[in-house]
Structure 1
Amino acid sequence: MLSPVVVGVDGSAESLAAVEWAAREAVRRDRPLRLVHARNWTGQAESETAHAAQRHRAQRTLRQAEEHLRGSVPDVELTDEQVDGPATAALLKATERAELLVVGSRGLSGFTGVLVGSVAQGVVATAPRPVVLVRAGEEAEDEHYPAGDGRPSTSTGFRDVVLGIDLADACDEVIEFAFEAARLRHARLRVVYAWQPPSAISLGPGDIGLINDPEQAEEWRGFLSAVLKAWREKYPNTEVLETVVEGRASTVLVRAASAASLLVVGRRLSGRPAVPRIGPVTHAAVHHVRCPLAVVPHE
């Protein structure tokens, strides 16, 4: 049985946008879609009557999401599930058997606009599978270039998939996810590496520092091309644009994602599960990138 695309559903505008994006992605990947609603996300029911009311509200929330999808993405193979919360733990459990997990990037915690400590932040920092965050208001047309008259369209080509890469820690899982996302969309893959020149303090006595910035950039371009060579051969029909930019990685990626259909970044799996971390670049992307954001865990 194919592992599903799993999406968290709570009835908020953010989760409905996530549901639609997840449905489109499930169709692209030829995977089933599973809607997951965590009952009692804020505490345990005090009585059977209250618990029954929660089940009813959960069922109504799932039905509304399903009815919404029947009109917008009718070809998706759809199932749903109610689970007992808390939400972060419930979604993490569902992710164990998922192709990927999709959540709304705001609204799941009940604190609109606050990501730190929210469900979205929790699953991004700890999920063993890729997690995609989707903002409220995300539409199918947003993934595509506008039509010739400037109007939004779903019949035009997809905008670039952008991969933020760390050449000091280039990981196959992250690169493969980005190439596959671009292939599924017949989109160009733009691979972005941001570098900063070493300071006099950071260079040791035995280090050789390139003085000329253009020379440093050229060195990084050569390194990036070498890292991507095997992936270009594996995905010969995917157009790849290699971009090397001097600057802070978080700033460069947020700017690059402004016209993207999807941004892909990596997250190193923590050896200390009790201390989940996402890193400064992923943290900046979670808070500032408007397009869907895929966070791919790796060793």
Structure 2
Amino acid sequence: MTSMRVLTVGTDGSPESMNAADWAAREALRRGLPLRLLHADSGERPAPPPPDVDLPGSGLLDRVARQLSYTHPALQVLARCSPASPVGALLTAAADSETLVLGSRGFSGYSGFLVGSVALAVTARADRPVVLVRAGGLPRDERAPGAPDFLPVVVGLDVTGPSDEVLSYAFEAAALRGAALHALHAWTLPLLRSDALVAAAPPGDAARRETLRRRALTDALQVWRAKYPEVPVVPRLVYGQPGHHLLKASTSAALTVIGRGMDRDRLGCTAHSVVHHVTSPVAVVPHL
């Protein structure tokens, strides 16, 4: 593992990877990190690309590096070409990066080596945070319409087992942008089964559970509010499925942050729904 702090972006010449590279460049500047461009080419060519995709070649990394250096002159750009398979190369790069950034076309269609299965496999197994950036995203999409301020960072929380890794990433992302942090926890009532019917918990129990969840959300945020006093925090306790509410919140977010347990090599239902459907960039943060 390298001792140098670095942010890595996978690039293959496709439009979505170029969007990801530009997002990664801005993020690297915010964090004061060099940006490493990674191209993995195992020599496999499963299908010809559509006309708008630039096939990788010996000059791809140089071209992308020149373009980013022109757009972001203060950015230190590194380049690396790996002969390994895409998943293996990206996972290796993620292990010694603060964040790995990948482009996404909605996980459908041809997108070079960053096809849906690769992006999903890397996101589900990486040891470090992975940010998925939609094709077509522009810097102005991160800001409030007609204003210089960033839209809020949205973080999805499970208050029954809050993760320091997820909260740390979300608070730092908000602080770097001078943005508010919206901490969203969605909950539902358990079903009570009887011989004759299935019904929701009684009203009194619902009120008690909501109070306990609200208190747990406040407690989970308390330490991090003290560490980042400059970050305005908006706790949001909502009833329903988390994927649905995160999708709604992402439409007015600069970044959506969710967690992924490291005890398995696949995304859970909520994470799977979020990475497929939210409209903002999504940071998937692994945690114990």
Work out whether the TM-score is over 0.5: yes
| TM tier relative to shorter chain | 0.7 to 0.9
Per the normalisation by structure 1, the TM-score is 0.84
Match of 1:181 among 173, 178, 201: 173
Q: Which residue of 2 aligns with 1:240?
A: 233
Change over 3 Å in CA distance of 1:68–1:107 after alignment to 2: farther
Q: Which residue of 1 aligns with 2:198?
A: none
Deviations 1:132-167 (A, max 9, x none): 00010111111111216xxxxxxx011000000011
Measure, in 2, the Cα distance between the counterparts of 1:81 and 1:269: 27
Measure, in 2, the Cα distance between the counterparts of 1:57 and 1:213: 56
- Determine if contact 1:194/1:248 at 8 Å carries over to the other structure: yes
What's the offset of the Cα at 1:86? 1.1
- Determine if contact 2:243/2:274 at 8 Å carries over to the other structure: yes
Q: Which residue of 2 aligns with 1:53?
A: none
Q: Which residue of 2 aligns with 1:122?
A: 121
Q: Which residue of 2 aligns with 1:288?
A: 277
Q: 5 Å matches for 1:257-276?
A: 257-270=250-263, 276=265
Letter aligned with residue 78 of structure 2: T
Change over 3 Å in CA distance of 1:200–1:109 after alignment to 2: closer
Superposition RMSD on alpha carbons, in Å? 2.5
Give structure 2 stretches of 5+ with no counterpart. Answer: 47-54, 195-200
What's the offset of the Cα at 1:199? 1.7
What's the offset of the Cα at 1:63? 2.1
- Determine if contact 2:154/2:257 at 8 Å carries over to the other structure: yes
Change over 3 Å in CA distance of 1:116–1:267 after alignment to 2: farther
Q: 5 Å matches for 1:1-299?
A: 2-40=4-42, 42=44, 57-106=56-105, 111=110, 118-147=117-146, 156-201=148-193, 211=204, 213-270=206-263, 276-299=265-288
- Determine if contact 1:125/1:277 at 8 Å carries over to the other structure: yes
Change over 3 Å in CA distance of 1:67–1:116 after alignment to 2: closer
- Determine if contact 2:8/2:36 at 8 Å carries over to the other structure: yes
Alignment: residue pair count: 271
SS of the residue 1:211 aligns to? helix
What's the offset of the Cα at 1:214? 4.8
What's the offset of the Cα at 1:68? 2.1
What's the offset of the Cα at 1:210? 5.8
What's the offset of the Cα at 1:178? 0.3
- Determine if contact 1:2/1:31 at 8 Å carries over to the other structure: no
- Determine if contact 2:35/2:78 at 8 Å carries over to the other structure: yes
Give structure 1 stretches of 5+ with no counterpart. Answer: 45-55, 149-155, 203-207
Using the aligned pairs only, state the percent identity. Answer: 41
Measure, in 1, the Cα distance between the counterparts of 2:60 and 2:192: 58
SS of the residue 1:167 aligns to? coil
